[in-house]
Each structure stands twice: as C-alpha cells, then as structure tokens.
Structure 1
Amino acid sequence: MSGSPSSSSASEDEDEGIDSYRKGGYHAVRIGDSFSGGRYIAQRKLGWGEFSTVWLAYDTRSSEFVALKIQKSAPQFAQAALHEIEVLSAIADGDTSNSKYVVRLIDHFKHTGPNGQHSCMVLEFLGDSLLRLVKYNRYKGLELDKVREICKCILIGLDYLHRELGIIHTDLKLENVLLLSTINATKDPIRSGTPPILERPEGIPNGGATMNIIEKKLKQRARRAAARISGRRSSMGGVGGGAKTNRSLDGIDLKCKVVDFGSACWADKQFAQEIQTRQYRSPEVILQSGYSFSADMWSFACIAFELATGEMMFTPKGGQGFSEDEDHLAMMMELLGKIPRKIWRFEEDPEAEVWDFRKVTYRQVQVF
C-alpha cells in the first residue's frame, strides 16, 4: 500500500513500526520541524504508507496548510518517488484551473536526514477517504443521489487522466479517493480555526516521533480492549444492541478527488502485469491478457457498488482445490455470465472492443 498522500485519515488504524526508522527507511519527523529552507513546518502526522509517511504542514510562503509526503530514502523508493512526481507534474500542468478532481502537486524537493536523502512531495491538503465515509455511515448504502455526486467527480477525474493525459491509475479504490474536506470539522485545520505551529514546541525530545508511536500503540490497545468489552455486552443483550442506522451525511461536502499515483502508468508505457488491489481487480488483469483504461473503469464500478450498498462487489478467497484468482473469476461469471473470448486475445487484437463487461459496467453506472 502506498498510502493516501494528502488525506487527513490516511492509514490511521495502524502505525508504521519503529524498526522502519533506519538507514534507507523513514525520516523521523517532529512537530515544528521545518523543510525546504524553512518554507514548510510539520504540524501533525496524517498517516503512512509502505513507501512514505505523510504530515500536515504549514506553507509559510502561501500561508496555507498542505500535505507533506516524505519518501523512504533507499534508492528504490527514491526511484518510485521520481516516477510519481513525473506523473503528478503532468497532471498539474494540464489542469491549470484545478478543476479535474485529481490531487494537485504543489512542490517537490529533497531533504537530507540521519537515515539518508528523502524525496518529498507537497500536495494540497484534502479530507477523509471514501473508505472513511463508508465507515462513518456504518457500512450502510449511501443515498443514490449522493453516490451520483461522488461518481461524477471520479468520472471527471478519470476522463481527464485517460482521454487527455493517457494515464492509467491502476489502483483505484475507496482509500484512493479523498473528499475535499474532512467529515469532522475539528480535524480540518482551516474550518477548526487552529493556528499553525511555527516552531518546535518546548519539551518534545529528539525521540518525539518514536514516543508518538509508542503512545499510539498503547491507545490502540486500550481502544481494542474497550471494543471487546463493548462487544461482549452487546452480545449479552446489554446497552447498545439493535440494528445500526445510517448517519446523516447532510452538511458533508461530497466533492472528491482521485489521489495516490505511486503505481500509475502511461497507457503506452506500462510497468507491471499485475495491478490493482485484489477486490477491485479487473478480469483482464487476472487473466494477464493485457490492460488499458478499462481496468480503471472496472475498479470505478466496484467503488460505485460499494458506495451504494456498503459492501464489496467481490471478496474472493482461495480454498481447497481452487485459487483466489479462480474464485474471483467464478464470482464475475456468476454476476455477468461467461467471459467473452475477446478478453483472452486482448494483446493479439488491441483495436477490438476490449470486453463485453465494459458495457455492463457503464449500464450499472447509468442506473444511478
């Protein structure tokens, strides 16, 4: 997982582990640390990914809050950062009005620390992911007019990436679409009126980042213990039982942007044969018969279904005598019928219509 670089809720559920703060690994950040000659000042941690940690930062030049993504320093991570910066730069250059519902790269630079030289990306600060929105709604389906509003933003973003830039995202999922603002106003530094931190607070030791991880682990253990106790009480018929109802989404801005281009590629310059997170993976990728923009559209349709129902369309599992891929394809055929022959000859006839499933996917979208 590469994380959601500009999210206020990216990877909050776990931590990245102390062992990764070493040569070639993460850069230890403390609140109040400055970057790029003092332009960006770290405010609080937003999340982390396999390649990087992400921090809310204050841009002293523009007087705005931004998301600062700090890559691990090992050569392979630096190379991955160069690729992501190249893709994000193309996206930003082609969207001067910032109206295409795709995350905007503001700046990039290198930062040298005890663990090496780290590539850093500065992106616009966005809100919670669609996954957080679905969780907030207690995994109940959103009203279809709200699903339609979200889908419109994603489709505008995909149309821009596909038709104008020739970019395939390759990992579209709920976590990689972020609302423009946070669900909880207190988590938004602008709406909450939180003044920016301009210097390191007194009393934070050099091991501040490590201490934050330890404290977070203790809090997580306490929350898990409390959840187990609450669960036992509910199962015994105590307070808190009964069906959960939808929370009101009124007042929440559902405009959103596509983010996380760490594994994106150009249609004519692909890097990997296996792409996409399992539940959102398209049949042509599973069959390794070649892929194009339609792979993103398959993932989009899975997102639309998940928003409308609160459940994933496909959750394949391997078993005795069959693989996870076989289970996945079987689920697709149960829903959509026999796999068209043209999927198997994608590379032989790239001009042919890629797959009949694409028509079904668009029809499903049009239902909304």
Structure 2
Amino acid sequence: MIRFPAVCIPSCQDLLRRRAMEERAQEEMLAAQHTGGHHPAREGEVFNTQYQALRKLGCGTFATVWLCQDMSCDLFPRRKKHVAVKVLKSRESFAEAAQDEVALLRCVSSMKKKDRAGENIVCLLDDFRMIRENGFHACLVFEALGPSLRCLMGNYAARGLPLPFVKKSLQQVLAGLHFLHKRCRIIHADIKPENVLLYGREKSLQRLLPDAFDCGQRTDLRLKGPGGELGNQLEESDLMSIEVKIADLGSACWTYKPFSKEIQTQPYRAVEVLLGLDYGTPADIWSTGCLAFEMATGERLFDPQPGKYFSRDDDHVARIIELLGRIPPQIALSWKKSTKFFSRPGALLRISRLSPRSLHSVLADRHQWTKDEATPFTAFLLPALQYAPHRRATAAQCLQHAWLGAP
C-alpha cells in the first residue's frame, strides 16, 4: 500500500503565529460589526426561523459562513441535514452583489436539472434576507461540504499533493468549468484552492469531513473518525475517495456581461486581466493552470511581491515573462494604458533585470521532478498558459490531455 507524506506538526513558533492571526482576525471581525458590516452571529442563533447556527466556518471581507442545522427537518429526524449559510455584510452594495450571485447560481441549478450535469458545482439550496442590529443581510444557503483544497494542501507542506489525487481533482474542476462555460455561459473569475471544496460520497467520509477546522484561521486538515484522529497520514484509499466541487460564485459573471475589470485573486490572475484587456472564459483556464502547479508542487506558480520601485503587478508581469517568455507586442501594447508596464515592446518599464527559466527546469531543478514526470506535466500546463486567450486550451481540451488520464 502506498503511504503519502505525513502532515506537518506545527512548531511553537507556528502556534504563536497562528494564535496571533486568530486574534487579529477576531479584532477585524469586531471592527466590522457595525452598521453596514458583518452580523455578529452566535452559536445557537436561528436564521430565518429555520437554520440554527452550530459554528462559524469562516469569515471573509464580504461575508461570514456558518455551519447550520436545517430545523425544517426536525419532524423527520432521519432527514436532518447540515447546510452552510453565507451571511453577507449589510451594506446595500453587498445585497446587490448577492442578487447577482443568486441569479448565477439559479442558472446553474436550472441547467443541472436540464442536463443532469454540473455535479462539480456547489448547490444553492435557499436564499433570504434578515434584519439585525447592523441592518439587512442577504443570506445564501448552500449544501454543507468539507474544507477547501487549501486545507488539504497544508498537510503536505512544500511537497505537493499526490499526483493521482491532483489529476482526479483537476478532472472534476475542469468538468465543472466546462459546464459553467458552455452550458451556463458563466465565468467563475476566482479559481483558487480556497474555492475548491472537498466532500465525500461515502458515508464514512461524510462523517469525517465536517470535523475539519476553519481554514480562515487554521491551515491544517484534521480528519476524525469514530476512534479519534486518523493519525498523521491519509491513506491512498481515503484520499482518492475525496471528491471536489467548485464553490463561491461571488465574483462570477456572465460571459456576455462582465461585472468588473478587476477579477481573480492576484497569484491566479490571468495575463489579460493584469494588462487591463477584455477577458472571457480563458481567464479561468489560466487560473486552473496556476492551481494545477500549486497542487502538484506545493508552491505557487506566480507569487508576486512589491518592491521599492515597482508594484506587485509589475513583479507579476515580470515573473510571467521570466517563465513563459516575451509577451507578444500585439497583446502587451494593445491596451491604451500599456505604458503602465512597458516602455517599448518587450521592455518592462520598472524592472530591467529578468531571470528567464523554463517551466520544465523549474520542475526539474527546484522540485526534483524526473524528466518523465516533468515533460508530460509541462505539456499539460503550457496550453493553459498561452498568452493569447483565443489560443489557450479550453476546459474540454484540457480534459482530453493525455497527462490527466495517465496513471
């Protein structure tokens, strides 16, 4: 039996850092609890006379998410189920954003019923508004899933997840994107590990996954069974039984009606978005390529940082050029504000020294992949990272790639 890498046992310094992060998150949460801010929910509170809060799963800039019990099932104990309730801030702009998200999710639900597809997209079960001391809050109710890929990745340190699981998860993410892009005409616009959630079809995994901790404050995944902790390792059978679903369509938009020029979380942001150009479904494929690399290696493909004389965006564009080569002038200079990054075709304005390296060499030299491992993975990634969006592989084309089907 193959045994995969052990989870990392946190040091005292890690525990202190984690405690400081938790305290800072709590302070930010308290600061946001005012008119227009988060609702200061408590365990045991009932939302909309139906959903009883059990514990907070996460807190973000725009919303908090609570694990709740659906009390409408109390008359039928065998049907009792958990749901995840997303409570947005009470500011009116968030209510409007929630309406957009609900419209997108209802389209997904409608197309699921019509095509019997889209099982890799999270399900919206209900939505409502409630009034509390900070104002009106839009609330969305989802099926309760497990923690995110980010949690799972935290268990494997810098080594990356086992490749069989990486391939299986990518197949499911790409199938979900194909459904969104072709059937629903939706751009997700924020594919990243935090927005890919784990779940288990088998009853044993359904019992294990709800015990995972909040990834907003903890980045480890502790799966517990009837006998307590499963130990420091996940067996191959347990890992390969885990499925994934794409979640959080809060940044999503229609392919024919983009809501914003600024989309995607920075490390996963497509080059056309960085340059301020028009974007479409290929932007999700770029993010998926970044996700694939991170899952397989444990490191972000691009992790831009600001410097004294350049911005984070400058560094991001530079890192892309270092890895993928010169951006064609017809792309780099097609934006009327191209001087933000370039002084002339191929020349960055604020960063003069680059260190070119190929994707294959990064895998071989930095991550010690063999040629037989690095070559097919590179062949899978590069079509997803094409500069020209119309030349970038589609989700369907990625799904057909030989690397995904290889053992």
Normalising by structure 1, what TM-score?
A: 0.73
Q: Would the alpha carbon gap of residues 78 and 93 (structure 1) be closer, same or farther in structure 2, given more than 3 Å must change? A: same
Residue in structure 2 matched with residue 143 of structure 1 by the alignment: 162
Distance 1:133 1:101 in 2: 18
**Letter paired with 1:337:** G
Which structure has more helix as a fraction of its residues? 2
Distance 1:46 1:158 in 2: 25
Paired residue secondary structure (1:149): helix
Q: Give the alignment's Cα RMSD to 1 decimal.
A: 3.1
Residue in structure 2 matched with residue 248 of structure 1 by the alignment: 234
Residue in structure 2 matched with residue 367 of structure 1 by the alignment: 403
1:1-368 matches, within 5 Å, as 14-15=25-26, 16-36=28-48, 38-62=49-73, 63-96=80-113, 97=116, 99-181=118-200, 190-191=207-208, 247-250=233-236, 251-252=238-239, 253-344=241-332, 354=389, 356=391, 358=393, 362=398, 366-368=402-404
Q: CA deviation at 1:139?
A: 3.1
How big is each residue's C-alpha offset from its partner over 1:210-238, in whole Å with a ceiling of 9 and x where there is no partner? xxxxxxxxxx9xx9xxxxxxxxxxxxxxx
**Letter paired with 1:284:** E
Residue in structure 2 matched with residue 228 of structure 1 by the alignment: none
Distance 1:262 1:51 in 2: 9
Aligned-pair identity in percent equals 39
Distance 2:235 2:286 in 1: 26
Distance 1:332 1:356 in 2: 17
Paired residue secondary structure (2:140): strand
Distance 2:296 2:208 in 1: 29
Q: Would the alpha carbon gap of residues 193 and 296 (structure 1) be closer, same or farther in structure 2, given more than 3 Å must change? A: closer
Paired residue secondary structure (1:150): helix
How big is each residue's C-alpha offset from its partner over 1:317-354, in whole Å with a ceiling of 9 and x where there is no partner? 23244332232222222222222345358799xxxx63
Structure 2 gaps of 5+ residues are: 1-20, 74-79, 212-216, 219-231, 337-387
Q: CA deviation at 1:249?
A: 4.8
Q: CA deviation at 1:254?
A: 2.9
Residues 147-156 or 24-33, more deviating: 24-33
Paired residue secondary structure (1:316): coil
Distance 1:281 1:193 in 2: 31
Distance 2:311 2:393 in 1: 25
Q: CA deviation at 1:358?
A: 4.7
Question: Do the aligned residues in 2 keep the contact of 1:154 with 1:256 (CA within 8 Å)?
Answer: yes
Distance 2:45 2:56 in 1: 12
How big is each residue's C-alpha offset from its partner over 1:187-208, in whole Å with a ceiling of 9 and x where there is no partner? x6x45999xxxxxxxxxxxxxx
Distance 2:191 2:165 in 1: 19
Residue in structure 2 matched with residue 237 of structure 1 by the alignment: none
